[in-house]
Structure 1
Amino acid sequence: MLKLTARQEQILGLIRDAIENTGFPPTRAEIAQSLGFRSANAAEEHLQALARKGVIEISRGTSRGIRLTDSAHDKAGARPAAPLVPAGILQLNLPLLGMVAAGSPILAQEHVTANYTVDPSLFRSRPDFLLKVRGMSMRDAGIMDGDLLAVKKADSAKNGQIVVARLGDDVTVKRYRKVGSLIELLPENPDFEPIQVQPGRDEFALEGVAVGLLRTWN
């Protein structure tokens, strides 16, 4: 790996911190704002330099399409998304959930459609289950239709975290934000509208926070 400049080290650290705190990398605009750049284009130039030096990979077409490579593991303290491997090779066994019935516990046995054994070092903390993503509302966070989201069960979350939430009869994946008593579930795709939740009036529960992503290659 080529030596990084001080600014490149700073940006790599920012990416690391975003992944550690929210499970996902920052956008170009967020990098520019954090570092005082005049435009997202300046952030893009630095990202391209990091990609040339082999510490990140950039996916086209998504604002959060940044992955840390194997060369960056020691610096970043995080693992990139990786394909699944056959069960039995690695040691963490996770249930894959299909359609979740309204009103029943999310980890009820009838929701489990398969089990996968994966490497626990892929995740920033130990997940409890995998949930298959449906739709493209989180596209710009690098979460695509058919991806498997690794989720740690939790009944609370920090602003900015990607969460799995139950809203009425639906289970959804969104970015969490709470201001006062108002909870917002934010998509990462401008084609979708934010969801506003009024605790006590809307039937709402947090099921967990995202701690990683797995992508199957068929």
Structure 2
Amino acid sequence: MDDTPKLTARQQQILDLVQTAIERTGAPPTRAEIAAELGFRSVNAAEEHLQALARKGVIELVGGTSRGIRLRSETLRSLAESRIKQFNLPLPSLSQLTLPLVGRVAAGSPILAQEHIDQTVVVEPHLFARRPDYLLRVRGMSMRDAGILDGDLLAVQKTREAKNGQIVVARLGDEVTVKRLSKTKHGIELLPENPDFQPIVVSPDSEDFELEGLAVGLIRNNMLM
């Protein structure tokens, strides 16, 4: 028996939009972005459809943040399985992932140095749009409005390149930070998702900036308890 919730065409469209945004930027869209993308006259229409999806158990809404939309694990599993069926390929990597959990990073040393690894965490591969290389424990609330909170575990894929608008892990001198990448003609800006924090401007000739990775998912700390 198929227990998959029956969605209207519009609800499926919004679910696809949320999934695409997470895969592309590492964060879900805002209500305003959904409304603009689908031609709604107000954000209230987007909110009503999101509430309907939440009632059907497809997504989880997190209060107090404009990007507080979470795909439930059952939804991610269903999406993964539907993709496999569509392309008629065997399910990739049924085995679980064992990822190092990185805590506080010491100045000037590699992010995956052994002394930074608090523990290893076993996770399901289908939770992530891209395969992560490690988990980073989030410190602070500078990315609150992207739904990334203090104590969360950010799934990170190691890379030296990222697209404009993606959420990245960057090293600035002695500090490792999580921010949204913005490339401008004047250089690079690292944007917080909390009005209490200021953007960080990186000059084009800066030797203190290094891209460490791309955010590909998020695990609430209490999900591991």
**TM-score using structure 2 length:** 0.84
Task: Go from structure 1 to structure 2 and tell me whether the alpha carbon gap of 1:131 and 1:122 turns closer, same or farther (over 3 Å shift).
Answer: same
1:66 aligns with one of 66, 69, 78? 69
Q: Deviations over 1:69-101 (max 9, x none)?
A: 3553366449xxxxxxxxxxx732211112212
Aligned equivalents of 1:127 and 1:2: distance in 2? 29
Amino acid at match of 1:9: Q
Q: Give structure 2 stretches of 5+ with no counterpart.
A: 82-94
Matching of residue 43 in structure 1 with residue 46 in structure 2: yes
Q: Deviations over 1:17-36 (max 9, x none)?
A: 11111222111111111112
- The answer to whether 1:205 aligns with 2:214 is no
Q: Matches of 1:72 and 1:168 in 2, distance apart?
A: 39
Q: Distance in 2 between the 1:74 and 1:192 partners?
A: 35
Paired residues in the alignment total 207
1:115 to 113, 116, 120: 120
| Partners of 2:77 and 2:127 within 8 A in 1 | no
The AA in structure 2 aligned to 1:107 is L
Q: Tell me if the contact between 1:157 and 1:163 (Cα under 8 Å) persists in the aligned partners.
A: yes
- What is the identity, as a one-letter code, of the residue corresponding to 1:118? V
The alpha-carbon deviation at position 15 of structure 1 amounts to 0.7
Where does the alignment leave 5 or more consecutive residues of structure 1 unmatched? 79-89
Q: 2:11 aligned with 1:8, yes or no?
A: yes
When the two chains are superposed, the root-mean-square deviation of aligned CA atoms in Å is 2.0
Q: Secondary structure at the match of 2:221?
A: coil
Runs ≥4 in structure 1, deviation > 4 angstroms?
Answer: 74-78
Q: Which SS does the other structure have where 1:47 is aligned? A: helix
The residue number in structure 2 matching 1:21 is 24
Deviation per CA, 1:46-83: give whole Å up to 9, x if none.
Answer: 111222222222111111111223553366449xxxxx
Deviations 1:126-184 (A, max 9, x none): 21111110001111111110011111111010112111000111110011111235211
